[in-house]
Amino acid sequence: MASETGKRKIGIFGGTFDPIHYGHLIIGQLALEVCKLDELYFVPAGNPPHKVTDDVTETIHRLRMVRLAASPHSQFRVCDYEINRTNPSYTVHLLNYFRKQFPEEELYFVMGADSFRELELWYHYKELFSMARLVVINREGSDTLSLEERAIHYKKDFKAVITLITGIHLDVSSSMLRQRIGSQQSIKHLTPKDVEHYINEKQLYQKQVKNRA
C-alpha cells in the first residue's frame, strides 16, 4: 500500500531468530497492518554485535528456518545481507543496504521496546532517524510511559518518525523453545510446523542451553 506520498512502504525486522517462532510472525503481521507496509523483510543476524556469537546457532540453520516460516506469507520476505557479512553488522549498515535496494521507498525499521530504550548505546544511532521510520513493539505489562517520553524526545530533537505498538501479548520466546527442546518437551504450536520439522531433522537445540534471549 503506497503512502500519502505515493511511495511504497518497506519494513525491516532484524533479529537472531534462534529459532524463529509465532511471536516473531505476529510482530511482523502487526507491523504490516499498523504501518500499512507493502512488504516486511526478516533479516537474520550473522555476527550480532550485542550477542555472544559462540552461543548462537549456525547462520545456515537460522536462515533456513526463517525462510520456512516466512514462505507461506505473501508480504513476508527474507534478506540474507547480515548472514553474508564477515564483519560485525550494525543497523546503520543494514539500512544503508536497504536504501540502495529501495532508493525511492519509505523504510520502516521494526524493533523491540528494550532495544529502543538502549538506542543511544547503538553505533551512530542518530543517523537512524534520517534513514528510516522506527516501529517499536512493546509487550503487554511493560512500561509504556517511558517509551512515549523517549519517542517525544527523539521526535523533537531529531525529527524522528516513530510508531509505538503497545500492549502486545506474547507468551513465547526463542529461549523458551530452546529450553523446551533441551528438556525434551514439545514445541508444537509455538513455531510453524516446517520449522519444528527442520529443528528435529537437524537435531538443533538438543542439549540443555543457557537462557539467552
Query: For every one of its 213 residues, what pLDDT tens digit does the chain have, with 9 covering 90 and above?
Result: 656 678 999 999 999 999 999 999 999 999 999 999 999 999 999 855 555 455 789 999 999 999 999 999 999 999 999 999 888 889 999 999 999 999 999 999 999 999 999 999 999 999 999 999 999 999 888 889 999 999 999 999 999 999 999 989 888 999 999 999 999 999 999 999 999 999 999 999 997 544 444
pTM of the model as a whole:
0.91
What is the grid cell recorded at 185? 518437551
97-104 long-range Cβ contacts below 8 angstroms, 24+ apart: 98/10, 98/12, 98/41, 98/132, 99/131, 102/8, 102/10, 104/7, 104/8
3-state secondary structure of 92: helix
* Cα–Cα dist 140/87, whole Å: 35
CATH number of 9-202: 3.40.50.620
